[in-house]
């Protein structure tokens, strides 16, 4: 991935951050005051590191000579403790975003299928992801690709 690609993906990440901020979730308070250039630089640095990680796959979709979407997946330890499960590692879809004008065109599905191939090559049997409960577009997209809730997180302010 070129430095121009990293910059373009970082701009898409910024759009994703704005979308999450607009969900008005209490966990996203810092996004209301985020510094755009700082967020871009932080993501560029993170992305550059991930590109050198053999347990990570970074995918981009190019449509009409522009990056229309991206997906990042990583192999992580299974969240369910080993005394309950014999699953040691899972694929985790860290980030995914498709520009609104390119949605409903199979881009997310194509990137997800490529990530699944990568995970299968690493003998990974399950893929996980998360999204905010208020993020209806993410929920619909992932459900359409067959993802089902297996664990839910809850919170209570104290």
Q: What is the pLDDT of residues 138-155, one digit of tens each?
A: 999 999 999 998 888 888
- Tally the domains of the chain: 1
Please state, in angstroms and rounded to a whole number, the distance separating the CA atoms of residues 51 and 152: 30
58, part of any domain: yes
What percent of the residues of the chain are helix, what percent strand, and what percent coil, each to the nearest 5? 45, 20, 35
- Whether the model clears a pTM of 0.75, i.e. scores above it, the answer is yes
Who's near 71: CB < 8 A, 6+ residues apart? 58, 59, 93, 95, 96, 108, 111, 112, 114, 115
133, part of any domain: yes
136, part of any domain: yes
32, part of any domain: yes
Q: What is the pLDDT of residues 12-55, one digit of tens each?
A: 888 888 777 777 777 776 555 567 777 778 888 888 888 889 99
Q: Which domain holds residue 12?
A: 3-144
56, part of any domain: yes
Q: What is the CATH number of the domain that holds 67?
A: 3.40.630.30
Please state, in angstroms and rounded to a whole number, the distance separating the CA atoms of residues 37 and 100: 22
Q: Given pLDDT bands bounded at 50, 70 and 90, which one contains residue 104?
A: very high
Q: Quick check: 110 and 101 in contact, CB under 8 A? A: no
Residue 76 β-bridge partners: 90
């Amino acid at each position: 991935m070129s430095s121009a690609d990293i910059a373009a993906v970082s701009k898409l990440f910024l759009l994703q951050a704005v979308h999450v901020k607009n969900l008005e979730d209490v966990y996203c308070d810092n996004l209301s005051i985020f510094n755009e250039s700082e967020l871009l630089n932080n993501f560029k640095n993170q992305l550059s590191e991930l590109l050198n990680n053999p347990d990570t796959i970074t995918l981009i979709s190019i449509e009409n000579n522009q990056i229309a979407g991206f997906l990042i997946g990583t192999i992580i330890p299974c969240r369910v403790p080993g005394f309950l499960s014999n699953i040691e590692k899972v694929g985790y879809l860290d980030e995914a975003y498709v520009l609104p004008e390119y949605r409903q065109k199979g881009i997310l599905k194509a990137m997800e299928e490529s990530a699944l191939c990568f995970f299968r090559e690493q003998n990974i049997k399950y893929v996980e992801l998360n999204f905010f409960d208020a993020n209806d577009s993410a929920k619909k997209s992932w459900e359409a690709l067959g993802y089902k809730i297996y664990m839910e997180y809850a919170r209570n302010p104290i």
